[in-house]
Structure 1
Amino acid sequence: MANPRQRSKAKSHRSTKPSIHRIRKLHQKSRRAPPLKGPEVLQQGWDKKKTVFQNYAALGLLPSIPIPNQATSSRSQRVQLPSLPEDIEEAPKVGFGRIIRDEDGNVIDIIIDEDESIEQEETNIPFPEDGEEKPSVVGKTEVVRKLEQLSATSAPVNRHTSTSERTWLHNLVDKYGDDTESMTRDRKLNVWQKTEGEIKRMIKKAGGVDKLRA
């Protein structure tokens, strides 16, 4: 039977690490999907059981052009592209060349395709001229159409100047007025090393030189 001194010694050396049950709970909480932040239309059409790519495809938010090197999950079906035979060499692209070597590895010829007619035909995409009406893109799904309407009717977000930034601009304007070039060269006041264009935009956002002076 342990004496009181040994019991107090065991209590003082008790581990403060979290228990296994607590660690398991923390892992389960970290594996939970974060809450979806966005318009209510997108939240209603979002399926939590699907991946992000599957939800985008179902909502019609994916481009019609196939994306190369697209990451697929283990459950999705992988498409095997047909490989070219080894004895057939791929034709060089426009502006590139192919080096031909002999059996010893010496360069004996360089083939460069200078025919740009194919490239011009591929890149000759008709664009509407000035004054012509651009064709409207119709959303594929109801979610896309509602998101486009929400984007067209939403007002721009007004950016406000912080208190510390306004104090810093007030000190610059109080010393140099509207001389932004001198503000840029001041190493003591221009602690953030802002350029002249950045200082002009910040003064404009804060309401102008007259408002900062007041």
Structure 2
Amino acid sequence: MGRERQKKKNRSSKPKVRPNSNRTKAGKTKVNFLGNETIAKNWDRKLTVSQNYKRLGLSSRLNAPTGGTEKKSVKGEDPAKKLRDSLAIAGPRAATKVATQEVQVERDPETGRIIRVIRPEVDENDNPLNDPLNDIMDMDDEKPAKKPQTDVVAALEAQAAEEEEWLATKKQPRKQSQREEEWIASLVEKHGDDIKAMVRDRKLNPMQQTEGDISRRVKKWKAKHEDTT
């Protein structure tokens, strides 16, 4: 028999956090920012994960955020412009309204009639119909400016380059074992250079190694023995 409160806790659907669990009370995975020395030095515990990543010049997720993002208000910004939809189509009055321009005219010296109107050169990106999609297409054509690289990103890239060089020097080609060399030697002694016969040999090839696999092994075995001889 237990208390009523204990029974309610046992029946509760709220996930219980274990002491050694790698998840928070909300069920999200904890971020181990102490795994890297550079990030641990520049990590601010008072900020959230997204805020820390943004401050350090990193990305918390590769895909676009699924929820809302934090927006900072700019001083002197008109709230009406902020709420205005960029894809909203202007009304008929706004479309018919044309800005006044100054043009040059060429007149007939005798009669004074206008012969030709000299208009200013029209910009290629001119938008006389006030089409909102035109501005978006112009923005897509422009190359996005690269974000300035932070000191943390530069340190992480240098660390990654050092680790890559270390792994390249550490990596060594696979060597054939003594048992494998004896097996290849018996195949070559019996069948010579006939790889297909080696594949069909059930006694010497009980594991049914493929033609390509045996060919690679024989080639490596011959290269080693040619160097020794």
Q: Which TM-score applies when normalising by structure 2? A: 0.33
Decide which structure has the larger Cα Rg and report it: 2
